[in-house]
Amino acid sequence: TIKLYNHINRKDAAIILSTLLELNADGNSDSVKLFKDVSDIPEWGKGFLGAVVAEKYLQGYPDNTVRPLKNISRAEAVSLLSRALGDIYNSAGVYGPENEIKTIQGNVTISAADVKLRNTKIEGNLNLTAGVGDGNIQLNNVSVAGRTLINGGGAHSIIIHDASLNEVVVDKSFGETPRIVAGGTSEIGNVSLETGVRLEENNLTSKGFDLVQ
């Protein structure tokens, strides 16, 4: 059964979000140890909840409790999703200024094909969701301080030009195998492959893909 009318508590909401965004649940239980009601969190759930707390998507209450078994309210759910998804680009187009650099303090989520993001500094994470499908994405002069999660993209490519990506996780389980092309002064740090991908370097003047595993 799916029990679609059941309430969902804060712990389970955190587990769902942690799973969808593939946050690192290993070793993150320390993030919840300071809450007074940490004993209310099942041992198996501490890593998931800790990962969401560490990313500051879920916050505690003023009395230093996290209330993991409390049903999450609609307002709390909206805040949770807003912090996790950040700025959302869900239709094709060009985003970012033509010349100067735009800084985004939180995360960015791209959920449509044919999005070109340019001249943008992302201080959080970048999510390329399954909504991209087998479509194309361009990142021109984009830097991501956090992690880039790639769940979409097709054979005609995610083009990365003059970009700096700290950590990349590729996990696309449907459709075409994505192709990621790095060019110009692009530097891509640790690339973790959960599913297949085609990596290419074209007209590259910097180190491109650093470590692939």
Tens digit of each residue's pLDDT (9 = 90 or more) over 88-104: 999 999 999 999 999 99
Residue ranges of the chain with per-residue pLDDT less than 50: none
Q: What is the pLDDT of residue 4?
A: 86
Structure tokens at 90: 């869900």
Q: What is the pLDDT of residue 189?
A: 93
Question: Between β-strands 158-161 and 179-184, what pairing exists: parallel, antiparallel or unpaired?
Answer: parallel
For CA atoms 134, 136, 137, 140, the dihedral sign is positive
Q: What is the pLDDT of residue 25?
A: 81
Question: How far is CA 20 from each of CA 23, 91, 97, 163, 179, rounded to the nearest angstrom?
Answer: 8, 21, 30, 25, 22
Name the pTM for this structure. 0.88
Residue 127 near residue 147, CB atoms below 8 Å: no
Q: What is the pLDDT of residue 31?
A: 86
